[in-house]
Structure 1
């Protein structure tokens, strides 16, 4: 066979493969911006674009994992039906313009809003570790933990020792650490100590060189969950890391986070999320929390209503994106958001622009320095359009602001592990709390204002004067924003 014929054959096979992938992208019916970005990558980069798409272009959890999730859904659905039938479910007491969010969330994910909870907002990492260690030391039945990043160093050793003590006195201790985010920890001396003491520590979404061709490596369990005896639960943005020791060479300062400590019936709902993750990772039958033994609601005047919102592949991955849009459009006076990574799609960007144009006070607080160069450029490419519509943009100077929070009209909060980027909204396993309470929202708003006091507000006039090379780089990065 002549070299010319070989070249022509390879050329034809390549473009036939490219055409097949483009047809597949179109038929998956993903957001138009994401689909167009992938088509451009596949068509413009010979061979490499197609290989890149095969590696990270689809939500491939693996057939076995997908089957396990599907097998558990009927059981978790039946458990949620029981949860929704209990007297802890919110019947009223939500502002009229926010109640559609509650109904939409329950219709999509089946997790009900639950009254009778108490929440403590903790924004000091030392206080987080103090509370967590004390609660583990008081545990009587079980301690369940799930973290994207578990890192050796500093106060994380205190948590390890507390879990060792709990396991030694007969408390069931189970822990999930993400296979990529906690890769080093899972083979560390601390992990060996935990396992030797009887703590059942597992990797969530484990990966490897061969597995990467069959399972998408960058689909991660990004949740931060601690549940103790179905009576106390923690979630928020803080991984199990001591910020004084974590990524100190990144040049962004210490990570700044916040955690919510929840007591009340919502703790059992969070344990239901952990139970589903645990069942999938361990290939064991689902052990849903006992609702008879769960914490009863506190009917006191300072109790509040919480709705647990878990999202991820296999669990209606579009749910949080839809709910976030509903929250933005429901706002009537004020909208404040904090996030370390801001890469919105066209729908979220339009919602924010529309909110500002309606006369709302819209404030976005992001870190001045970010640990991802590409995300930083893709993020700031949106700033000019947002500021032109009246959105205030503040650059936090006190470190890498990692807190993920949304407050709406001083009456409703979204708080948890979700960044305002497409990876969190569409790809990762995440958890959020929807809090229908003015008291907690005031506390979260006060924390947002403290962040604002440590930030520099961008001036639209000054922003427009930045150089042409920088503007081009930002706009180029914006094109790949749907893929980030």
Structure 2
């Protein structure tokens, strides 16, 4: 009997090392950055069995067979819809200011989405203003409401939005609500979700979490976009989930979440509507293109050219990081960035350093307290390198700064759902707007300045004097930064 158990042990060890060898080969042959590959090899070897399981769960960008096939089949029809925008008189590359011409060229060639003029924008920077504005627009809806969010949390003014959707559905407005299954897990079992569905609101879980399907789809791939489109006339996007911060994560010890949203009218609304339609079809298989935009633009009043930049599985790889790299590297005077989660790719890190080293004022505003301990420590691992290059780092103390924004030379800006971390840049479904409008950009820049006033600037000399324990924790979590 002893010999049997001995043989069984040897067989188990042999099978384990065969699996490890197979996973190692798979990690090596996947074409990605060396730092990501080395991080996964370290996890696999340091954490026996657990490391292999983690790799199958989180190691590869796998949308799942059904969704992947559907996304692949969708790309050409949607690209054809986007390319029709080139004939819209809101697309005037020869008259669009040159600040975003290079970004317009990239997105048009890679995704088929051109920058469009003739929009109006409103920057909304308080939860009360945002949620009440959404309710007012829902009350005016006549035909269709499309919404998608990562987190939908009941409580406070968020319930007023849910109630407005119920009323809209009862008066015959079709309401298509797409919510991430992991981010909104509690909401799906709430009474508000049941009331919405009973009233005819179509509530669909995006990317349902099922551990038994870990070999078929990456579990931490999330639907992170925040989009609202009403009658293809009004749209919202930005950093805020469908939550009232006074009722959301109050016990997390990081303060209230601080967000912004942008209210938009004009041709860009239809582009955001098409992105929602893309996500709806990926999840449900149902296709419904939005109406093409009405492009009756006054040639003498070409306001607010906007480039919509989506990313995610099935869409052109690395597009948002390319846009960020182009924007930051072309800055001539200043770059001001806000992000709650700062774990940059090596490419983005070097772009920030190089931009600061050539004399551009680069400011980074991130929350002092983070709801992710691992991300908080990993972020600090980049401080020394950035500070030595001349990057100014502000730690926001007024809550969890969740706004995702970049202002370039106080002339144009990027605003949307994208964090400066590997997850947003490489993995999740995201969307950002590149807005070439001086007035709107100035409003966003002033808002960033209010964030700086509520922050403490990191002093390079004092940072060098931090404790050995502090340095150890930074480096320990930094090793995992490529996979956070």
- What interval of TM-score do these two structures reach, taking the shorter chain for normalisation? over 0.9
Structure 2 CA distance for aligned equivalents of residues 399 and 344 of structure 1 = 22
For residues 92-103 of structure 1, what are the structure 2 equivalents within 5 Å?
92-96=94-98, 98-103=100-105
Q: Give structure 1 stretches of 5+ with no counterpart.
A: none
Q: Which moved more, 1:301-310 or 1:405-414?
A: 301-310
Partner of 2:316: 316
Distance 1:262 1:300, change over 3 A: farther
Partner of 2:196: 194
Q: Which moved more, 1:198-207 or 1:354-363?
A: 198-207
Q: CA deviation at 1:5?
A: 3.9
Partner of 2:15: 13
Partner of 1:145: 147
Q: CA deviation at 1:16?
A: 2.2
Deviations 1:440-480 (A, max 9, x none): 11111111111111111111111111101110110111110
Q: CA deviation at 1:230?
A: 0.8
SS at match of 1:41: helix
SS at match of 2:211: coil
Contact 2:362 2:392 (C-alpha < 8 Å) held by counterparts: yes
Distance 1:98 1:266, change over 3 A: closer
Structure 2 CA distance for aligned equivalents of residues 238 and 273 of structure 1 = 18
Contact 1:90 1:305 (C-alpha < 8 Å) held by counterparts: no
For residues 382-397 of structure 1, what are the structure 2 equivalents within 5 Å?
382-397=382-397
Q: CA deviation at 1:228?
A: 0.6
SS at match of 1:244: helix
**Aligned residues between the structures:** 482
Q: Which moved more, 1:172-181 or 1:86-95?
A: 86-95
For residues 175-324 of structure 1, what are the structure 2 equivalents within 5 Å?
175-284=177-286, 286-291=287-292, 294=294, 296-297=296-297, 301=301, 303-324=303-324
Distance 1:298 1:193, change over 3 A: farther
Deviations 1:222-257 (A, max 9, x none): 000000111110000000000001000000000000
Q: CA deviation at 1:90?
A: 3.1
For residues 293-372 of structure 1, what are the structure 2 equivalents within 5 Å?
294=294, 296-297=296-297, 301=301, 303-372=303-372
Structure 2 CA distance for aligned equivalents of residues 204 and 369 of structure 1 = 29
Distance 1:237 1:408, change over 3 A: same
Structure 2 CA distance for aligned equivalents of residues 29 and 67 of structure 1 = 21
Q: CA deviation at 1:135?
A: 0.6
Contact 1:89 1:113 (C-alpha < 8 Å) held by counterparts: yes
Deviations 1:170-211 (A, max 9, x none): 111111111011111122111111111111111111122323
Q: CA deviation at 1:302?
A: 7.1
Deviations 1:41-68 (A, max 9, x none): 2233222211110111111211011111
Structure 1 CA distance for aligned equivalents of residues 330 and 263 of structure 2 = 27
Matched, 1:120 2:122: yes
Structure 1 CA distance for aligned equivalents of residues 76 and 387 of structure 2 = 46
Partner of 2:90: 88
Q: CA deviation at 1:327?
A: 1.3
Q: CA deviation at 1:92?
A: 2.9
Deviations 1:283-320 (A, max 9, x none): 22x2111116x474465647210111110112123111
Deviations 1:110-140 (A, max 9, x none): 1110000011000011011111111111111
Distance 1:340 1:280, change over 3 A: same
Q: What RMSD in Å do the two structures reach over aligned CA positions?
A: 1.5
Q: CA deviation at 1:95?
A: 4.5
